[in-house]
Amino acid sequence: MVNNIKIGIAVGAIAVTAFTASSDLETNVKQEVRMPEVNDRNGPPCLQMYNYIRAYADTFDIPLRYAFGIANAETSYGGPFDWNYDPAQTSSAGAVGPMQVMVSTAHWINKDNVTKEELRTNIKYNVYTSMKLLRKLYNKNGDWKTSFGEYNTGRPCVNGYAHKVYNYQPTW
């Protein structure tokens, strides 16, 4: 008899844990089932985003809700079960991909020659670049709201976008 089912997501894997109660022993027994790992470019974009955001937010010491707030503000990312999520978006200003990064910004941040198409479609690279940029902005400004405003406009400011990201609370 299943009393409680919990679903948790870890970087690289989804774990489903079921707790069963034994009528004979009246103790809870934990049984864990591991689903296949989400690899670099396999699996739905929503899970790739979740895993890369968690990994690179940790790498660059970005509070997780801010990292998810950027993704939500930029491309309406709705979490790991947002099955209809399209990360390959382009803004009217020319920013591309899930975190809406400009090609010139990616060149500056990563010291490489990434193409617009690669930046638009490579979720891992785009999220990495975004988190690296956000860390540089925070180190320069010393304030999250100002950093979010600069991420959005290219200049240090506190605007509606900055407030939206700063106050973001995932509902998934």
What are 58-117's pLDDT values in tens digits?
999 999 999 999 999 999 999 999 999 999 999 999 999 999 999 999 999 999 999 999
Q: Can you give the pTM of this predicted structure?
A: 0.77
Contact 35, 123 (CB under 8 A): no
Q: Is 154 helix (H, G, I), strand (E, B) or coil?
A: coil
Domain assignment present for residue 49? The answer is yes
Contact 109, 133 (CB under 8 A): yes
- The structure tokens listed for 144 are 């999250």
Domain assignment present for residue 111? The answer is yes
Q: Are residues 58 and 91 in the same domain?
A: yes
Domain assignment present for residue 40? The answer is no
> What value does the mean pLDDT take over residues 16-26?
36
Q: 63: domain range?
A: 45-166
Q: Are residues 25 and 54 in the same domain?
A: no
Number of separate domains in the chain: 2
CA 94, CA 154: separation in Å to the nearest integer?
13
Domain assignment present for residue 125? The answer is yes
Q: Are residues 110 and 158 in the same domain?
A: yes
pLDDT in tens, 51-75: 999 999 999 999 999 999 999 999 9
Please report where in the chains the tokens 């670049």 appear, as a residue: 129
> What value does the mean pLDDT take over residues 141-169?
98
Q: Are residues 87 and 145 in the same domain?
A: yes
Domain assignment present for residue 172? The answer is no
CA angle 51–105–148, rounded 5-degree value: 65
pLDDT category, 153, cuts 50, 70, 90? Answer: very high
The one-character DSSP state at 37 is P
Contact 63, 141 (CB under 8 A): no
